[in-house]
Amino acid sequence: MKKKTHSEKETYDLAKDFAKKLKGGEVLCLVGDLGAGKTAFTKGLAAGLGVKGIVTSPTFVLMKIYPVKSSPAGILLETKLFNGVNKANHRIKEMAHIDAYRLKEGQELINIGAEEYFRDKECVTVIEWADRVKEIWPKGCTKIYFKILNGDERVIEVKK
């Protein structure tokens, strides 16, 4: 999938929709320059998953775990809206938001216990600046590339 967005809101909405396709256990490797929209995308993703509360940039804290708190009613509504694409959404219990911006090598992510979340089928893991830790990308991870075009235009490409 390759899409052009023209505002932060569009990127947010794109990610929110994208979240409905997730089943749990996915590792999303986000690659793109400063200000490309990786955190903006993650905010939309979190909203789509049913994370309550404010998703902030994890650059300094390295990793933040958000519980998924979708109410059963909310999930039912979403399932209806998206024609059952994401019936399994209720299995997702956490979103792990990681940022490799300050890291020099993948081993540092292993050291803070990130792999535990990669393997967790009830967790969706998002890694910003994932290109810095390529050597530890798990098999079958989803790559999402962000490009800054003119002004607020961004190209977002999802690759399996």
Partner 1 sequence: MKDNKVKIILAIESSCDETAAAVIKVTGKKPEILSSVVSSQIDIHKQYGGVVPEVAARHHVINILPVIMEALEKAQVNKKNIDLIAVTAGPGLITSLMVGVEAAKALSAAWRVPLLAVNHMYGHIAGNFLQPLKFPAVCLVVSGGHTEIVVLKDHINNKKIGQTVDDAAGEAFDKVAKLLDLGYPGGPIVSAEAEKFKVQNSKSKSNAIKLPRPMLGSQDFNFSFSGLKTAVLYAAQKMSPKERKARTSEICHEFQNAVIDVLVGKTIKAAKKIKAKAVLLAGGVAANKKLRESLREAAESNGFKFAVPEFKLCTDNAAMIGLAAAQIIKKKKVPLDNYKKIVVDCGWELN
Ligand X SMILES: Nc1ncnc2c1ncn2[C@@H]1O[C@H](COP(=O)(O)OP(=O)(O)OP(=O)(O)O)[C@@H](O)[C@H]1O
Residues that bind ligand X (CB under 6 A): 5-8, 10-11, 32, 34-40, 57, 59, 128, 152, 154
The least distance separating ligand X from the CB of residue 134, rounded to whole angstroms, comes to: 17
CA separation for the pair 126, 122 (Å, rounded) = 13
The least distance separating ligand X from the CB of residue 27, rounded to whole angstroms, comes to: 17
Give 102's contacts (C-beta < 8 A, 6+ positions apart): 59, 60, 62
CA distances from 25 to 22, 91, 103, 123, 146 (A): 8, 10, 23, 5, 22
**Residue 75 lies near partner 1 (rule: CB under 8 A):** no
**Residue 11 lies near Mg ion (rule: CB under 5 A):** no
Partner interacting with residue 122 (select from partner 1, Mg ion, ligand X, none; CB below 5-8 Å by kind): none
Nearer residue to partner 1 within complex by CB, 105 or 122: 105
> Within positions 139 to 158, which residues make up the interface with partner 1, using CB under 8 A?
148, 151
- Applying CB under 5 A, among 7, 57, 79, 142 the residue interacting with Mg ion is 57
Residue 148 tokens read as 């800054």
Sign (positive or negative) of CA dihedral 63, 75, 84, 90? positive
The least distance separating ligand X from the CB of residue 105, rounded to whole angstroms, comes to: 18
| Of residues 110, 28, 99, 108, the one with CA closest to residue 59 | 99
CA separation for the pair 129, 145 (Å, rounded) = 10
* CB contact at 8 A, 90 and 26: no
> Within positions 79 to 108, which residues make up the interface with partner 1, using CB under 8 A?
102-105, 107-108
**Residue 39 lies near Mg ion (rule: CB under 5 A):** yes
- Which residues contact partner 1 (rule: CB under 8 A)? 34-35, 39-40, 43, 54, 56-57, 59-65, 102-105, 107-108, 111-113, 148, 151
